[in-house]
């Protein structure tokens, strides 16, 4: 149940096309449904702006399928992260329109009406090796309804590649900067723009990178102000944070837009 669906239901009750008893029946499973091994949060979109997202790692294919079925019976979007091909094949048994993105390990089912993507999030990576984490962030942000621009392989080893896109960076409401090795990219980006930057350390690097800890510590100790840091390889977490920032910024722009602009006049 998302805000739009709730408004439609309440409107139907108000105009008499849906009875109060019918509406009550539809809301019976709010705020969550107990599946035994999992409790599916049908209230998440109303509270947080987007439906519950399922972390598939550690769950069996049957468990993920059960959760997906429950979510799609009561909603029209399912996003599964850290999903294997086995998870996808199981979900596809109950959702023939499911899509699997192999590198970022995402399952997406999206049955919502098409809407224009809002705002502007830029996803920038230090290197091509960061692609999987970047795509987890980019696809997740797109499913959440955001306009996303990808700037891949613009790391500090060739800073001119980043500076060539300075206009794109400055147009963003929020930037997700993703890097492994020494993790320098987010600090550089933050020093170029006035918008918030979400830094994502990746586990890419040689031995002393310690599986991303070196990049994480570099980002946490950055002298560039205006940057927040998420966990190692956490592209989804970065997308969720960036989406909230972007949606607020885009909403603020709409509220203060010239009335003539809003309707195209």
pLDDT at 9 over 70: no
Domain ranges of the chain: 28-110, 118-253
- Confidence at 43, pLDDT banded by 50, 70, 90: low
Paired sense of beta strands 39-41 and 54-55, if any: unpaired
Higher pLDDT, 146 or 114: 146
pLDDT at 91 over 90: yes
For the four alpha carbons of 251, 256, 257 and 260, in that order, the dihedral sign comes to positive
For residue 113, the model assigns a pLDDT of 85
Taking the C-alpha atoms of residue 39 and residue 100, their distance in angstroms, rounded to an integer, is 24
DSSP string, 14-56: HHTSS-HHHHHHHTTT-SEEE-SS-EEETTHHHHHSS---EE-
> How confident is the model over 84-97, as a mean pLDDT?
96
Pick left, alpha or beta for residue 249 (phi over 0 → left; psi -120 to 50 → alpha; otherwise beta). alpha
Structure token pair of residue 163: 């500076």
Domain spanning 118-253: which CATH class is it, in words? alpha beta
For residue 51, what are the contacts with CB-CB under 8 A and spacing of at least 6? 2, 44, 45, 71, 75, 77, 78, 79
Structure token pair of residue 65: 């399928």
């Amino acid at each position: 149940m998302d805000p739009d669906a709730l408004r439609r239901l309440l409107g139907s009750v108000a105009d008499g096309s849906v009875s109060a008893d019918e509406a009550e029946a539809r809301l019976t499973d709010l705020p969550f449904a107990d599946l035994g091994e999992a409790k599916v949060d049908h209230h998440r979109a109303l509270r947080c702006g987007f439906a519950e997202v399922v972390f598939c790692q550690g769950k069996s294919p049957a468990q993920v399928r059960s959760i997906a079925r429950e979510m799609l019976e009561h909603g029209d979007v399912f996003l599964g992260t850290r999903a294997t091909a086995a998870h996808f094949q199981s979900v596809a048994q109950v959702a023939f329109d499911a899509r699997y993105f192999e590198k970022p390990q995402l399952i997406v089912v999206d049955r919502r009406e098409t809407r224009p993507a809002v705002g502007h999030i830029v996803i920038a990576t230090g290197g091509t090796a960061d692609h999987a984490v970047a795509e987890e962030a980019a696809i997740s942000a797109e499913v959440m309804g955001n306009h996303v621009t990808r700037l891949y392989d613009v790391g500090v080893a060739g800073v001119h590649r980043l500076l060539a896109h300075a206009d794109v960076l400055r147009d963003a409401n929020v930037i997700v900067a993703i890097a492994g090795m020494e993790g320098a990219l987010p600090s550089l980006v933050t020093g170029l723009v006035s918008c918030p930057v979400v830094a994502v350390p990746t586990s890419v690097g040689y031995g002393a990178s310690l599986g991303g800890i070196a990049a994480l510590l570099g980002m946490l100790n950055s002298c560039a102000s205006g940057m927040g840091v998420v966990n190692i390889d956490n592209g989804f977490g970065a997308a969720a944070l960036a989406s909230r920032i972007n949606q607020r910024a885009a909403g603020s722009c709409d509220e203060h837009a010239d009335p003539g602009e809003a309707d195209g006049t």
